[in-house]
Structure 1
Amino acid sequence: MVVFGTRPEAIKMLPVIAELRKRPTLAVIACSTGQHREMLQQVTEAFAQPCDMDLGIMVSGQGLTALTSRVLLAMSEVLERDLPDLVLVHGDTTTAMAAAVASFYAGIPVGHVEAGLRSFDLQRPWPEEFNRVTVDSIATLMFAPTETAAANLRREYNQSGRILVTGNTGIDALLTIAARLESDKKLEAVTAGQFRFLDPSRRLVLVTGHRRESFGAGFEGICEGLAEIAERDDVEIVYPVHLNPNVRAVVHRKLAGRPNLHLIEPVGYVEMVWLMTRATVLVTDSGGLQEEGPALGKPVLVMRDVTERPEALASGVVKLIGTDPRKISSSVSQLIDDPVAYASMARRVFPYGDGHAAQRIVDAVEDWMCCDAGADPKPLRGATSK
């Protein structure tokens, strides 16, 4: 059973689901908790990989405690009914954490895709750092995207889980859609037609922002920085605004109606990849864009003070800028105005893999599933040792 609930999870798990469904040895159930129901359908349609069930756990205005409880209860019922041999979860969401805990309570092994990422600060990002540490503490199979993530896992509590360095499945998804846009001229034209409002003579700054730790003063600062950038007549900002009301309220209050700044509804993944390929700079607090930007050769400015993705920082194509409005504005302006600074960050690098992570993960699942019960397991294909 593959469990996901948010749009980023779906983007990164659908390549795994597609690969699992190719294997005649494996029966697959794709289970959505519906944490981001409005945005999930766009992604499942893009990859032509439908869900087998939707738990529909979202209730308007519910907090993390209620969300966690609802996922736990719903997953407990599903696990008792379907009795999967393995539950795969992804990353650091409440869905991933609660589904893993429900599986642990039910005595069902857990596989963690994108295991081992660490900021080493439980408050940043919050609650994501807690979520991923919790999942890794109980996982049987840990699919680390990088050797750094695997090294983190080897130092931690769970010494019985098996680690495999796979690359990141988000790169699988990105390269698949980017290649489709390049080869399918009709798809490219239809996608481009949705953004006729863009002025090709201006530099495109693509923004995403939704982190809980920035709610309040952080988002006030982010908006002030974006407003300052929008005053330039050579720049155009596109900001697909997250559906969380804590984000939408401040963003629309401070930025609506400003020239050169387009606040749009969340877009599908195909549309997002199209925007990324045309952007001059990516400004984000998202983990996904920290991975995707380098693969596309796009500079990424991260509106956070810490990151669990040090490989991107080390490559020199990603930079932490926090939520101070002056820092946001000056960092973007430097890349726009200084060709040398821009060239130093606008390089295609692949710290998160080659686009074949899903195949490695499914090979490992197949190896693990095909072992005789109770026997000493054979090594996973490509697995690293503790």
Structure 2
Amino acid sequence: MAQLRTMILFGTRAEVIKMAPVIQLMQADPDNFKPIVVLASRQYQQLHQAISYFNIASDFDLNVSSAREIGSIEHLSQLLHNFQTVISAAQPDLLLVVGDTMTTLAASLSAFYNHLPVAHIEAGLRTDNKYRPFPDELQRRLTDELSNIYFAPTNSARDNLLKENVKADRIFVTGNPIVDTVKANYRADYQSELLSSIPANHQFILATMGRVEYTGLPMERVFRTLRDVIETNPDLELICPVATDSEAFTIATRILANRDRIHVMPLMNLGDFLNTAARSLFILTDSAGTVEEATVFHKPVLLLRDITERQEAVKAGTAKVVGTDPTSIQQAVFELLNDHHLYKKMTSAGNLFGDGHAAERIVKLLKEHY
């Protein structure tokens, strides 16, 4: 078998976290694989921090402005134009994409027009509302329509694809490689200056928020609610890492910074974040990826969104959708702090999103099929 020239595209930190174990396995098998890594975003702080953490070198950097800077339509247009140039230069045999970003959709469209097969990691996740979350849900659905092989993270995701008339022999339940990354980076003996600064008789909650649609009043409501929670629970602390190049950091700093038992800080590297999350009491987040990460550590999640495509976590009871309404958040936090039966129930689910061997399955299946 000749090398399978596999183009892998990164536009967000989350994509790096999920793709890193796949790239590492491909790099360890140079007789069969030639990964071609393309950076597709100017989201420098988050994206470049992640690829540096995994020591991943890029082959192409598109340097495309973010949708926030130039608008979604122009962002998509630039991605399509630049991907065409890269595909012509690199001559890949296959595009391997993940998730639901505009990078993923643009790459899949480019592959279609160039008659290249697309393999989609995280295929089949659905909210059943194409506008929520926007534009992620439709971008994921369109990517599935353009794909040739489907790596579904769960049985539920596979069933969604079957309902949409995707042929069963093109769908493979692999688990999500984000679980591989979490397990590989957990350290039982982890220590940090931050954790050492928290008194032994205190517990802490972890909060992350950064989705663009919640920037502004919804985010302000959440941060004020978290501030009130900490002020009314003297043995509780809050850790809140935020990207410093985002408006979220400005809001978090204004509302939360310089207050007792509240730690607002720049984004941690992945290892620090995962090991801090593993030691938290519970997590509040608007990130779908963090929901998956939290299940590995059996940590309850209060999801600061109105809807989620990770329904497995909600059905299993490990995650609860609370949105950005202060009353809903306060009630959910109060229950977790005071209802020990509920807390135990939210920590008792098994491996919802995989067993830590998803990347192995994906690479093996690619080798078999191409």
- TM-score between the two structures when normalised by the length of structure 2: 0.91
In structure 2, the partner of 1:241 is: 242
8 Å CA contact 1:230, 1:258 repeated in 2? no
Give 1:13's match in structure 2, choosing from 19, 38, 56: 19
Give the partner amino acid of 1:83: Q
In structure 1, the partner of 2:63 is: 56
Matched, 1:85 2:86: no
In structure 2, the partner of 1:132 is: 140
Distance 2:338 2:194 in 1: 29
Unpaired segments ≥5 residues, structure 2: 1-6
2:97 alignment partner, SS class = strand
In structure 1, the partner of 2:353 is: 352
2:365 alignment partner, SS class = helix
Distance 2:294 2:335 in 1: 18
Q: 1:108 to 1:35 in 2, by over 3 A?
A: farther
Deviation digits for residues 202-243 of structure 1 (CA, Å, limit 9, x no counterpart): 211101112233233322321222121121211111111135
1:2 alignment partner, SS class = strand
In structure 1, the partner of 2:10 is: 4
For structure 1, which segment, 219-228 or 320-329, has the greater mean C-alpha deviation from structure 2 after superposition?
219-228
After the TM superposition, which residues 156-235 of structure 1 pair with which residues of structure 2 at under 5 Å, given as runs? 156=164, 159=167, 162-178=170-186, 181-182=187-188, 188-189=190-191, 192-193=192-193, 195-231=195-231, 232-235=233-236
Superposition deviation, residue 66 in structure 1: 2.7
Unpaired segments ≥5 residues, structure 1: 370-386
8 Å CA contact 1:140, 1:160 repeated in 2? no
Superposition deviation, residue 175 in structure 1: 0.4
Distance 1:115 1:35 in 2: 26
Give percent identity, aligned residues only.
Answer: 34
- Displacement over 6 Å in runs of 4+: none
Give the partner amino acid of 1:150: R
In structure 1, the partner of 2:28 is: 22
In structure 2, the partner of 1:376 is: none
Give the partner amino acid of 1:148: S
Deviation digits for residues 73-100 of structure 1 (CA, Å, limit 9, x no counterpart): 2111000111101001110111111111
Q: 1:139 to 1:160 in 2, by over 3 A?
A: farther
Deviation digits for residues 319-376 of structure 1 (CA, Å, limit 9, x no counterpart): 111111121122112212222222121235211110000011111111121xxxxxxx
In structure 1, the partner of 2:103 is: 95
User: How many residues are treated as equivalent by the alignment?
Assistant: 361
In structure 1, the partner of 2:3 is: none
1:278 alignment partner, SS class = coil
Distance 1:334 1:154 in 2: 38
- TM-score between the two structures when normalised by the length of structure 1: 0.88
Question: Cα RMSD (Å) of the superposition?
Answer: 2.0
After the TM superposition, which residues 270-309 of structure 1 pair with which residues of structure 2 at under 5 Å, given as runs? 270-309=271-310
After the TM superposition, which residues 60-71 of structure 1 pair with which residues of structure 2 at under 5 Å, given as runs? 61-71=69-79
Distance 1:327 1:77 in 2: 48
In structure 2, the partner of 1:267 is: 268
Q: 1:354 to 1:116 in 2, by over 3 A?
A: same
Give 2:157's match in structure 1, choosing from 133, 138, 149: 149
Matched, 1:328 2:329: yes
